């Protein structure tokens, strides 16, 4: 099922293939969404129902009719570059998805991943239910002892979501020599 008409600030992508009776959602921010999306597709692709790059949990400037990459990069909207993931909990559990998240980027930095700096590059997990929010918080607590520094990942409910422009979707699949953040790799943590 594809949602074609939610309001622009609904926490579900307009283009995500998602059945709310069968699937769960988690919106992840781990630096540049090109690398985050690429890592998810490469390592969990067969287990994921669908995913979409976008912008989440920010503020639309007064008078603006939407969110654009340029606006987000200005640093005034507080949107994070994210990947929204639809998954079947019978195939991919929230624990496994979050474990992957904590291994594929550095969750101990604030508003930065490698050379990418700004609030849009923060580490965040945006849950789509209170039950999942509690579970994500517990997973973060379980991961904290594995890192030398304090985990700075923001954990909150998904409040808003805008699909990123089409040229950002599957960016590194279409542009295999495109920019990849050096912090996107799987760690043995």
Is position 17 within any domain?
no
User: If you average pLDDT over residues 54-64, what whole number do you get?
Assistant: 86
Residue-wise pLDDT for 101-154, tens only, equals 999 999 999 999 999 999 999 999 999 999 999 999 999 999 999 999 999 999
Q: At residue 53, does pLDDT exceed 70?
A: yes
In this prediction, what percent of the chain has a pLDDT beyond 70? 94
Is position 43 within any domain?
yes
| pTM of structure | 0.92
Number of structural domains found in the chain: 1
Q: What CATH number has the domain bearing residue 72?
A: 3.30.1060.10
Is position 5 within any domain?
no
- DSSP sequence for the chain: -B-----TTSSS-SS-B--TTT-EEEEEEESSHHHHHHHHHHHHGGGEEEEEEEEES--PPTT--S--HHHHHTTSS-PEEEEEEEE-TTTS-HHHHHHHHHHHS-TTSSSEETTEESGGG-EEEEESSHHHHHHHHHHHHHHGGGSSS----EEEE---EEEPPGGGTTHHHH-TTS---TT-S----
Is position 56 within any domain?
yes
Is position 188 within any domain?
no
User: If you average pLDDT over residues 161-176, what whole number do you get?
Assistant: 93
Is position 99 within any domain?
yes
32 is annotated as an active-site residue:
yes
Task: Say what the pLDDT of residue 6 is.
Answer: 41
Task: Say what the pLDDT of residue 9 is.
Answer: 52
Is position 161 within any domain?
yes
Which residues span the domain enclosing 153? 24-174
Is position 180 within any domain?
no
């Amino acid at each position: 099922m594809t949602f074609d008409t939610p309001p622009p600030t609904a926490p579900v992508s307009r283009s995500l293939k998602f059945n709310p009776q069968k699937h769960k959602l988690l919106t992840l921010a781990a630096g540049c969404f090109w690398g985050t999306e690429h890592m998810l597709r490469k390592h969990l692709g067969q287990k994921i129902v669908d995913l979409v790059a976008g912008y989440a949990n920010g503020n639309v400037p007064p008078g603006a009719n939407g969110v654009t990459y340029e606006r987000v990069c200005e640093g005034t909207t507080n949107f994070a570059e994210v990947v929204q993931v639809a998954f079947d909990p019978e195939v991919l559990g929230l624990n496994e998805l979050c474990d992957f998240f904590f291994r594929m980027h550095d969750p101990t930095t604030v508003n930065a991943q490698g050379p990418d700096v700004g609030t849009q590059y923060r580490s965040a997990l945006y849950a789509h239910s209170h039950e999942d929010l509690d579970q994500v918080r517990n997973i973060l607590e379980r991961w904290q002892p594995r890192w030398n520094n304090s985990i700075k990942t923001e954990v909150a409910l998904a409040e808003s979501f805008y699909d990123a422009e089409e040229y950002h979707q599957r960016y590194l699949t279409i542009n295999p020599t495109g920019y990849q953040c050096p912090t996107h790799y799987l760690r043995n943590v």
